[in-house]
Structure 1
Amino acid sequence: MSTPGHVVFDSDDLDRTEEFLCYSYAPMRIGSGSRDAGARITRVATETVSADELDLHFDMSYDVDPLGRICLCDIEAGTIEDHRVAGWTESADFAPGDLFSFAPPDRPYSGRICRARYSITMLDPAVLTRVAGTEKPVKLLDHIPVSAAGAGHLRNAITYLRDQVLSAPDIGEHPLLVSTATQHLAAAVLTAFPTTASEERAGSDLDAHPQALRRAIAFIEANPHLDLTAADLAQAAGVSSRAVQLAFRRHLDLTPMAYLRRVRLDHARAELKAAAPGQTTVTQVAARWGYTRPSVFTAHYRAAYGELPSRTLQDTSTKSI
């Protein structure tokens, strides 16, 4: 899908379920002791990320071709057993409470799902690389999170993306919200799992010079409405992502994303000031500039300008009368 979409699948026919799974994920073959089995699957998705919730009332074997995506599974009930990935020496079993990566994007896998209720979140690997700001594609080095805290943070990011962003009925009108939440999910994946990004330390202090900072700032100020990452700023500045981070820290005592947020706030403020009475709301302006939660927008706005965004809008409306 090129725009956010919502799909609900509900059937007790295994052939239809297999057809839907093949269409939604990748070519696969499933087998069960019964040809009459209940399944309910809901999906919200964009071109780069999808979040599914599945409830299967039967035991099902699976044999899946490479997905080409990072595929995260979080089990709520039931089990996944005898899970095997090409290149693994042993199989693995998963139970309620387990959050794991099914397989590397380029490897097939197989196993058995036993009357399970679980979620699947799939992410384009290119998003990880963009967010990490590395020169080489980022790969996960293990299928299990490094800590319970990392798994909890990742689970929260998945829930937020699925329930608060992709499920919103008008989310197609706010692409910046989707891209921001997707980047947040990618950052949570990078934190939760060991990856090749932690092994790459590109850039040096010598590259963190004022000229690179000026080029990055000019790029931000010309494109605040775009889905920007540190990698994009690095390309615009002609240095590494690490050098961009160092330049902002050294010369402005800010991160590049904090500077980008301030520029977006400035645009939001200008929009509030220019609004005619009844033309817009604070919530609508916040959404246009990447804020899903108006309360967060209000807190950032007040910290930056010393007043509430509703007051700015109110003052503008008052002056127009």
Structure 2
Amino acid sequence: MHTFRSADLDETRQAIGESFYTTRIDPLGEPGEFESRIDTAHVGSLTVGDLVLGADLRMRFGELGHYHVNVLLDGTLAWRQHGRAEAVATPQRGCVLDPESVTRIDHWSRDCRLLALKIEPAALHRQLECLLDRTLRGPVDFTPDIDVSRGAGRSWARLMSWAVEEARDADGLPGHALMAAPLQETLLNGLLLAADHPYREELAAPAPPLRPAPVKRVLDLIHAHPEHTHTAASLAAVAQVGVRRLQEGFRQHVGTTPTAYLRGIRLDRVRTDLARAAEGGAAGTTVADVAFRWGFGHLGRFAAAYRDRFGESPSHTLRHPGPGSPHKAASSPHTAPGSPHTAPGSPHTAPGSPHKAPGSPRKADEDRAERIVPFRTAP
């Protein structure tokens, strides 16, 4: 664990910026005596901390870029994020901050001591996808406070406290390579079960029957790294069974083939990125950039698969921001990811339908594809 002590406000600001986020700190009233204590450690990709600043302060942050949870041991913390009213965190109610909002702490009380958890969005999203066994269609919108006075919230806060205390020991288990990943997973699982968010009820529902280990190994790999080059043979090697047996297992327990499932997950990731770019999240994004990023090497075939899955061209998604853009994602409960979405002869595939008319977005994508040499083979 890294330990920082200082009686200097600028040094404290710099220490918070190095371990957590860049901030501006202003004293409230006369500064008086000031002595900060900041202890931080890494648990996998997570950052945990125990912070005491010893003064009444106001703090300003930009967008955090991470999910962040504060569990207070003493004092109070008055805070707000863009578009939300001011809230006050106490030892009974912690706070959960989202990655994409400008953040303010209007009053860090002199007696405030808190445990902090900084979470990479990708790590949280991967963990939730593994628990749900499907792809997310956007960020996780947590309720901004978490009850740590009882039930699951209190259990999770105790787990946080244990992780921080154990991290103080250089020879303790949290610092061991064999323990870091399981402990990170436990902290994320606990938060997802204790905090309020749109997926909580689904997590609390009885789990479906377990899939066979070979199938689950492949599903875990696909969800973790859909952008990698995968073949039927390489997936079978991960499953530790033959290709034919893996395909039979997928048809029985997932309802589609491994390569079709992989293609569906990739398409869902593309759609999420395009929708985010359309809403202003990534200026200069192109369909080709996003398609290649997620493992599609032939834009024509990609555009056709995208239209079949979502009923519109990828360029249309990129040009038309709006709520619910991934509304037709194949990860809906009615259709297994990667399975067909339109029957032969449906409006999306009927001869002469507007989707295949010359000059349509799909035709433009296909024309561009002829000028691009595929560098990665999609299943």
Normalising by structure 1, we get a TM-score of 0.59
CA-to-aligned-CA distance 1:91-144 (integer Å, 9 cap, x gap): 11222332221x211111112201111111112222222222241255133012
The CA deviation at 1:69 is 1.5
Residue matched to 1:160:
162
Distance 1:167 1:126, change over 3 A: farther
The CA deviation at 1:185 is 0.5
Greater C-alpha Rg: 2
Secondary structure of the corresponding residue to residue 93 of structure 1? strand
Residue matched to 2:125:
129
Letter in 2 for 1:14: L
Structure with the bigger percentage of helix: 1
The CA deviation at 1:217 is 6.3
Structure with the bigger percentage of strand: 1
The CA deviation at 1:160 is 3.0
Distance 2:72 2:190 in 1: 18
Matches within 5 A, 1:174-253: 174-198=176-200, 213=212, 215-216=214-215, 231-232=223-224
Letter in 2 for 1:139: V
Please tell me whether the aligned partners of residues 139 and 195 of structure 1 are also in contact (alpha carbons under 8 angstroms).
yes
Distance 1:164 1:68, change over 3 A: same
Residue matched to 1:55:
52
Residue matched to 1:151:
153
Normalising by structure 2, we get a TM-score of 0.50
Distance 1:160 1:140 in 2: 26
Matches within 5 A, 1:1-321: 6-32=1-27, 33-34=30-31, 37-46=34-43, 48-81=45-78, 83-88=79-84, 90-101=85-96, 103-110=97-104, 111-115=106-110, 116-133=112-129, 134-136=134-136, 137-145=138-146, 148-164=150-166, 167-169=169-171, 174-198=176-200, 213=212, 215-216=214-215, 231-232=223-224
Secondary structure of the corresponding residue to residue 199 of structure 2? helix
The CA deviation at 1:186 is 0.5
Structure 1 stretches of 5 or more lacking a match?
1-5, 221-227, 249-321
The CA deviation at 1:150 is 2.0
Distance 1:27 1:97, change over 3 A: same
Distance 2:201 2:3 in 1: 41
Please tell me whether the aligned partners of residues 19 and 40 of structure 2 are also in contact (alpha carbons under 8 angstroms).
no
Distance 1:92 1:53 in 2: 21
CA-to-aligned-CA distance 1:237-275 (integer Å, 9 cap, x gap): 79xxxx99x969xxxxxxxxxxxxxxxxxxxxxxxxxxx
Distance 2:174 2:151 in 1: 32
Please tell me whether the aligned partners of residues 13 and 36 of structure 1 are also in contact (alpha carbons under 8 angstroms).
no
Distance 1:65 1:55 in 2: 22
Distance 1:179 1:108 in 2: 30
CA-to-aligned-CA distance 1:150-171 (integer Å, 9 cap, x gap): 2112112212322335744265
Distance 1:76 1:152 in 2: 12
Distance 1:157 1:247 in 2: 35
Distance 1:30 1:151, change over 3 A: same
Distance 1:162 1:229, change over 3 A: farther
Distance 2:194 2:48 in 1: 18
Please tell me whether the aligned partners of residues 193 and 200 of structure 2 are also in contact (alpha carbons under 8 angstroms).
no
Distance 1:78 1:186 in 2: 25
CA-to-aligned-CA distance 1:258-293 (integer Å, 9 cap, x gap): xxxxxxxxxxxxxxxxxxxxxxxxxxxxxxxxxxxx
Larger deviation: 228-237 or 167-176?
228-237
Number of residue equivalences: 222
Letter in 2 for 1:108: V
Please tell me whether the aligned partners of residues 45 and 166 of structure 1 are also in contact (alpha carbons under 8 angstroms).
no
Please tell me whether the aligned partners of residues 161 and 182 of structure 1 are also in contact (alpha carbons under 8 angstroms).
no
Please tell me whether the aligned partners of residues 14 and 36 of structure 1 are also in contact (alpha carbons under 8 angstroms).
no
Structure 2 stretches of 5 or more lacking a match?
227-234, 244-248, 255-379
Please tell me whether the aligned partners of residues 130 and 230 of structure 1 are also in contact (alpha carbons under 8 angstroms).
no
The CA deviation at 1:40 is 0.9
The CA deviation at 1:181 is 0.6
Distance 1:140 1:213 in 2: 32
Distance 2:168 2:118 in 1: 13
Aligned CA RMSD, in angstroms, stands at 3.8
